Structure 1
């Protein structure tokens, strides 16, 4: 019997997974290089959906010391297959789902959390808290989290008719969307600003995507709470995604979207509610 690839990949969701990489990887603390290695690996703890970098202990030049437990709140996301919830990337590094030793890398007055899994395959490595360090792959900075080599993004120009409604008001109408397909996540519809029918104002919300860069969020202030943080754009994406520059993408999770006359169901994702709406 044929197996759907998503199901095959998710069979390891509750396992500790790793994948060596061929890139030179550097981590900096306070501007000082504390890791410089050609032996890094991507590590997914059980239930994690995005990886962290693990590096050989021998390649850590900062002071590596045992640390007290780092407390972090769990943010769980239900999976379509009904299995154990995944950990949303907002779940802090200190929430571990595999046994190991909590450590800290120090350099002068700066420090960053680390974790040494008990698993013998990773016994000579430490996993580092991505957010605590600055990172370089080869000579290019990376942001958000390490990219998953088993995922990809496709962009396709389209002539589908896209209508976006908020609380019964049509806020966008386009026949020129750019569709962005990203494995597992809902397809996204990036629209020309000229096809947005209501004034949008930038909000104070700030997010970062490891693939697309730093996002500007937009609100339709005239629509009140229903218009809060309903869309985003990338004003300076990386070169490989330059096509999305300045286009407006509405959260399907927070608006009503009609594609070629068919009203879509709102997907349930970690972005279903605006920040601070709870």
Structure 2
């Protein structure tokens, strides 16, 4: 019997998962180097969809100490990965301190700074000798390039393809964009996103939003709202130019398929169910996570 790979991947989410990376991984806290290693692993705690770094404890340039402060309560933000599924997967806005395996929380202490409960020593034999570091307090490099949001997942792809298909975006019967020059962005486990040239978007109907989100694969996103509808808050976005990987969508604008009427090739598309079906979408401990 054939195996549908997406179901296989989603079936592992309740488990503790890890994968070594060949990249040079560095983290700093203020002026202090915390780790510089070629032996890092990516770790997904059970119920998590985004990875985090685990590094060899012996390679830390910092001290790990018992927490100086009591643990603050951490609110869970569960969601369903697909329509009809139970909302058991943790939205990335669920903070690092909500661990789903046994282990020990630790402070990370450098010569000048302390990051409270920023390390976690898991009780798992396959991760013996490793500590997991909270992404948020540190500045991170893979080789010599900055990474933001969370580490990139080696099993997660982003492919962008040019298309001449007719695309129209509408809300409450008002056309907000129409183009035959979209760039289609295909991202693992997410709906197809249609990135539209600004000349084909009714920018006169939209207003800029203060919201900002980050994506490890595409950069920092700025948002627009459509004030003509009560359902139009933060409904469109575009990325900055920091990542060459996403050059094909630089300067373009996309709308949430989940919250607009999207017609592609003359066919009205069903609204997909995803973490971004609600107006604010998910956000992570290092800042909101982009679609």
Question: Normalised by the size of structure 2, how large is the TM-score?
Answer: 0.90
2:159/2:187 contact within 8 Å kept: yes
1:198/1:220 contact within 8 Å kept: no
**Which moved further from structure 2: 263-272 or 120-129?**
263-272
Q: Taking CA–CA contacts closer than 8 Å with sequence separation of 6 or more, which of the two structures ends up with the larger relative contact order?
A: 2
Q: Which residue, 113, 137, 140 being the options, matches 1:109?
A: 113
Q: Which residue, 211, 215, 219 being the options, matches 2:217?
A: 211
Q: Unpaired runs of 5+ in structure 2?
A: 282-291
Partner of 2:202: 197
Instruction: Return the alpha-carbon distance in structure 2 between the equivalents of residues 70 and 123 of structure 1.
Output: 26
Q: How does 1:236-275 map to 2 (within 5 A)?
A: 236-275=241-280
Instruction: Return the alpha-carbon distance in structure 1 between the equivalents of residues 208 and 109 of structure 2.
Output: 38
- Distance verdict in 2 for CA 1:119–1:19, change over 3 Å: same
Instruction: Return the alpha-carbon distance in structure 2 between the equivalents of residues 85 and 74 of structure 1.
Output: 10
Deviations 1:62-107 (A, max 9, x none): 1211224353211111133736621111111011111111111122
Query: Does 2:81 match 1:75?
Result: no
Shift of 1:224: 4.5
Aligned pair count? 275
Partner of 1:152: 157
Partner of 1:85: 88
What is the RMSD computed on CA atoms of the aligned residues?
Answer: 1.6
Deviations 1:240-264 (A, max 9, x none): 2111111000011221111112111
Question: Normalised by the size of structure 1, how large is the TM-score?
Answer: 0.94
1:66/1:102 contact within 8 Å kept: yes
1:160/1:175 contact within 8 Å kept: yes
Instruction: Return the alpha-carbon distance in structure 2 between the equivalents of residues 270 and 11 of structure 1.
Output: 18
2:172/2:229 contact within 8 Å kept: no
